[in-house]
Amino acid sequence: MKDVIAIDGPAGAGKSTIAKKLAVQLNYNYLDTGAMYRAVTLLALTNKVDFSDKKKIVSLAKKAQFQFAFSNDESKLLLFLNGQDVSKLIRSKKINQHVSDVACIKGVRDILVKKQQELAQNGKVVMDGRDIGTRVLPEAEYKFYLTATLEERAQRRFNENLNHDDNVSYQQIKENIKLRDEIDSQRKHSPLKKAEDAILIDTTHFSIEEVVEKIKTIIRSE
């Protein structure tokens, strides 16, 4: 798949910030697949569905309409769920607590993977997530797997301070990231895993700009 860039890795490795910058600089679309799993989790919460009721969650995912758009200044990727901007709502502490369980449900994954593949079919797209290089777009022209130490990833999330309303501490963020990584890596259906042909980048000691440049150099040189 020409002009398709797949970026995978654990929480807080810098995927979404880097993917967004790359997309803007290359004039590609950007698709944040994690936001879609978060949105389905939000639907379950707002409809008061028990998280053990997989059937109901799958039916909510089936009916969901997703639309991505950059904010006017291109600094943010907004997600509209059934027409409503949920970009902020999907970053709450509650969503962080439940999203990895929702992402284990095979029926939910099947529906979202299909939607993600449709959204990528015209190329010129950067997509980030956990299973992009292994399952969603195994034929992507470029595949990257970003990682960093748990401490660095937790610190970055803490600095983003996205959920300051929730009053979450560094320690709580670290524990949530660790738990999600474990669930994401050990689940049965398309677990978080580096694709064999993905290029591994440890971002622990690099700035966002440095990683973006690194990726662009690799793309240009091939």
C-beta closer to ligand CDP: residue 34 or 138: 34
C-beta closer to ligand CDP: residue 85 or 217: 85
Q: Is 143 in the site for ligand CDP (CB under 6 A)?
A: no
Q: Is 163 in the site for ligand CDP (CB under 6 A)?
A: no
Q: Per residue in 39-51, is it b (16+ CB within 10 Å) or e — as a string?
A: bbbbbbbeeebee
Tell me which of 37, 66, 142, 145 binds ligand CDP, using CB under 6 A: 37
Residues 86, 79 contacting (CB under 8 angstroms): yes
For the chain, the straight-line distance linking the first and the last C-alpha, in angstroms and rounded, comes to 14
Q: Report the largest interatomic distance among the alpha carbons of the chain, rounded to a whole angstrom.
A: 50
C-beta closer to ligand CDP: residue 19 or 215: 19
Residues 138, 215 contacting (CB under 8 angstroms): no
Tell me which of 21, 22, 28, 38 binds ligand CDP, using CB under 6 A: 38
Query: Interface with ligand CDP by CB under 6 A: which range of 68-76, 78-86, 97-105, 164-172?
Result: 97-105
Q: Count residues near ligand CDP (CB under 6 A).
A: 16
Measure Cα distances from 143 to 13, 79, 87, 123, 200 in Å.
15, 24, 26, 14, 9
Tell me which of 21, 28, 33, 148 binds ligand CDP, using CB under 6 A: 33
- Which residue, among 15, 28, 37, has the nearest Cα to 81 in the 3D structure? 37
Q: Is 199 left (phi over 0), alpha (psi -120 to 50) or beta?
A: beta
Query: Interface with ligand CDP by CB under 6 A: which range of 80-88, 125-133, 195-203, 207-215?
Result: 125-133
Q: Is 180 in the site for ligand CDP (CB under 6 A)?
A: yes
Where on the chain is the footprint of ligand CDP (CB under 6 A)? 11-12, 16, 33-35, 37-38, 99-100, 103, 129-131, 180, 184
